């Protein structure tokens, strides 16, 4: 199931890119904790592991980086629980110095018959994550 969300962020592309790619910043806005994030993250071919909250549960999120175009595009294969997501972030400058961030995901279930649930969970999670990222970057930009 495809999940595509566009978020307008009142912060420069460089700021948003840093929030998406610096592990400490990812933890600050997304609530994940690094378990095993390789040096130089993110680079194509790397496999990072994060502890991801799901209600009272703490799941291991596997983040396999596929492509990186600095400041413009990041793609990864994400596995958490029964959900597999082909994830892509695309960033572009917006008028007034802000950023247009497009999150384009293809969510699938590794359990037959549950792709509808994987899509529903992914849509809710991505929408909430993008709101947190927007608030994080915009709050930083106001300082």
Mean pLDDT of all residues in 43-68: 91
Position 79 scores a pLDDT of: 93
Compute the mean pLDDT over every residue in the chain, rounded to the nearest whole number. 92
Residues 122 and 95: their CA atoms lie apart, in Å, by 29
Q: Which of 53-57, 77-81, 113-117 has the lowest mean pLDDT?
A: 53-57
Position 143 scores a pLDDT of: 43
**CA atoms within a 13 Å half-sphere pointing along the CA-CB vector of 111:** 9
- Contact 70/17 with Cβ under 8 angstroms? yes
pLDDT bracket for residue 51 (50, 70, 90): very high
CA nearest 129: which of 64, 62, 32? 32
In the chain, what percentage of residues exceed pLDDT 90? Answer: 71
In the chain, what percentage of residues exceed pLDDT 70? Answer: 96
Report the predicted TM-score, pTM, of the whole model to 2 decimal places: 0.91
Give 42's DSSP letter.
S
Residues 25 and 102: their CA atoms lie apart, in Å, by 19
Return the higher-pLDDT residue of 95 and 54: 95
Instruction: State whether residue 72 is helix, strand or coil.
Output: coil
Return the higher-pLDDT residue of 31 and 26: 26
Return the higher-pLDDT residue of 82 and 46: 46
Q: Which residues, in sequence order, are bridge partners of residue 5?
A: 103
End-to-end CA distance of the chain: 38
What's the pLDDT tens digit per position in 97-141? 999 999 999 998 888 898 888 888 888 889 999 999 999 999 965
* CATH number of 2-32+68-142, picked from 3.30.530.20, 3.40.1350.10, 3.40.30.10, 3.60.70.12: 3.30.530.20
Query: Alpha-carbon dihedral of residues 89, 106, 115, 83, nearest 10 degrees?
Result: -50
Structure token digits, residue 99: 């950023």
Position 140 scores a pLDDT of: 60
Residues 38 and 61: their CA atoms lie apart, in Å, by 14
């Amino acid at each position: 199931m495809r999940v595509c969300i566009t978020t307008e962020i009142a912060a420069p592309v460089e700021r948003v890119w840093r929030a998406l790619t610096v592990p400490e910043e990812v933890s600050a806005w997304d609530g994940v904790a690094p378990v095993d994030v390789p040096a130089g993250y993110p680079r194509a071919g790397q496999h990072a592991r994060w502890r991801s909250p799901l209600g009272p549960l703490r799941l291991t999120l596997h983040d396999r980086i596929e492509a990186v175009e600095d400041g413009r595009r990041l793609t990864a294969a994400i596995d958490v629980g029964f959900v597999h997501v082909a994830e892509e972030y695309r960033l572009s400058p917006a008028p007034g110095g802000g950023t247009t961030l497009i999150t384009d995901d293809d969510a699938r279930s590794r359990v037959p018959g549950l792709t509808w649930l994987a899509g529903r969970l992914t849509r809710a999670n991505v929408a909430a994550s993008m709101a947190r990222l927007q608030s994080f970057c915009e709050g930083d930009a106001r300082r």
